[in-house]
Amino acid sequence: MLKKVVQRLKANLVMKENWLSFTAGLSLVFAYAPFSLWWLPFVILPLWLNLIKDKTPGKAAKLGFLFAFGWFSSGISWVHVSIDEFGGMPLLVSLLLMLILCLYLAIYPALSCFLSARFARGRTLSLWLLPAFWLVCEYLRGTILTGFPWLSLGYSQIDGPLSVFAPVIGESGITLLLLVLTVCLAKLLEKQHIKRHIGLIAGTIAITFVLSKVIWVETQDSQIKVALVQGNIKQSLKWQPEQEWPTMLKYLDLTRVNHDAEIIIWPESAVPSIEPIAQDYLDMVNRSAALNNSSIITGILNYNFESKQYFNRLIVLGKKYQEDKEGAYSYGSGNHYDKHHLLPIGEFVPLEDWLRPIAPLFNLPQSSFSRGDYRQQNLIAQDLNLLPLICFEVAFPEQLAANFTEQTDLLLTVSNDAWFGNSHGPHQHMEIARMRALEFGRPILRSTNNGITAVTDHRGKIISQIPQFEEAVLKTEVQLVTGQTPFSQWGWLLRWLLPLLFFICYVLAAPRKNNSNQP
């Protein structure tokens, strides 16, 4: 009888731990935009870490998996909007696909928990190993199967005090630092080595204060007047043949009354045609922009008739340099950018011979793109260098770093978030763009079809934006800057250097007797 009671209590305890892990992950969505409760991870993570500490590798992996499944289920629920509305599948099937994606993404945090227990001296989870393994597994999540680095922990701190570390160690470094601090808090809850952990927290606070006073890039006296056009074209109408000219004329009309801006940005695939066929229209826009001494950067699809390849492209119309009189555009000129990091399913279909016959989801319009080069020249407009990123690419700082130079004046990202409706996806997308501006110390212009269209300064602060789901033009002046942040120069080393240093510190500092004496 007593044995059954003990077994039942153990089963209830396991069930409770499972639900607590899932709920803890589920609640993390409120740490990200549009909720932006940056302090929330400092409450949730220490409690969850105390739950998983000293677990065996198998139990640690299970709790890590449940935590991450809750985290992604709430955090990227916006993906379901595009599957449900444009995938052409029954609701049950679309929910199943969403479930599979979350289960896949949960593997990586689960793996970090498993490794943190497997390689600990006591063969139970070491909280001090977790930050390093977490960062390694986040790298894998952002790389394998082209990568999906969305919802990394560091993004939650864009409005918090830890954001001052972004120009030095980037978002991935903030993720590591956040985990270190929450491990300290978890240890304090246990009243372990109080002075040591308070010292680490106090030291971080002191460094945070010092970094908040450091100016990595200097503002220049010069400004550039920009206009970002938000056409608010419904996704269901965007590629209808009868809507092609109404859409193109809408962008032209919205631009004509804003030609006093030096640089005008249209969003991703704003021109619903392929570049070789739209030459008459592009020539008209080019001449109009040049006549008014302005430059227009627009998204458009390009089709190479020889190689039979599609590219998601940005081109520059109007003035490339101030002394241009006739405009700089001609088809095939070098002043364009072809998207490199394509979105799975949306822009290319892996195993397409098997998947395309299954459902309309795998036959979305323009889902057969080819990749542009990883390294490409910055776009040039009005004598300025703009580093372009199209939609999903803004989540990959390594790609930005590969194309960033001392001459880069502005960051530019265009998107069409109409796929995700009135969800928190576009807000998270904007949050990621703000982090890139802060990491690289450059203002970022973000032009979208239906929002969020905004201009962010070099400190990651939004200086102007327009409402979602409205036809509007954002016009403002952007202060140019000079100089480079440490992250823009050597941030690519951090992916491996930070975990390596952490492993070394663990080996040197951890006691050799047993797991119960671990720091």
Structure tokens at 72: 């992604």
**SS3 state of residue 456:** strand
For residue 127, report the phi and psi dihedrals to the nearest 5 degrees.
-65, -30
Q: Are 127 and 183 in contact (CB under 8 A)?
A: yes
Residues in contact with 15: Cβ distance below 8 Å, sequence separation at least 6, in sequence order: none
Strands 384-390 and 263-265: unpaired
Distance of CA 258 to the CA centre of its chain: 30
Active-site residue (options: 268, 275, 393, 431): 268
Give the Cβ contact number of residue 422 at 10 Å: 12
d(CA 433, CA 83): 24
Active-site residue (options: 53, 62, 238, 339): 339
Structure tokens at 491: 């941030």
Strand (E) positions, 200-331?
218-230, 263-265, 271-274, 295-304, 309-318
Q: Are 274 and 339 in contact (CB under 8 A)?
A: no
Residue of 359, 372, 364, 352 whose CA lies nearest to 418: 364
Q: Is 391 a residue of the active site?
A: yes
Q: Is 339 a residue of the active site?
A: yes
331: left (phi over 0), alpha (psi -120 to 50) or beta: beta
d(CA 428, CA 47): 25
Residue of 393, 507, 476 whose CA lies nearest to 225: 476
Residue of 266, 339, 328 whose CA lies nearest to 301: 339
For residue 201, report the phi and psi dihedrals to the nearest 5 degrees.
-65, -45
Active-site residue (options: 62, 275, 391, 393): 391
Q: Are 224 and 384 in contact (CB under 8 A)?
A: yes
d(CA 316, CA 319): 8
Give the amino acid at 296.
I
Q: Is 268 a residue of the active site?
A: yes
For residue 69, report the phi and psi dihedrals to the nearest 5 degrees.
-65, -40
Residues labelled as active-site residues: 268, 339, 391
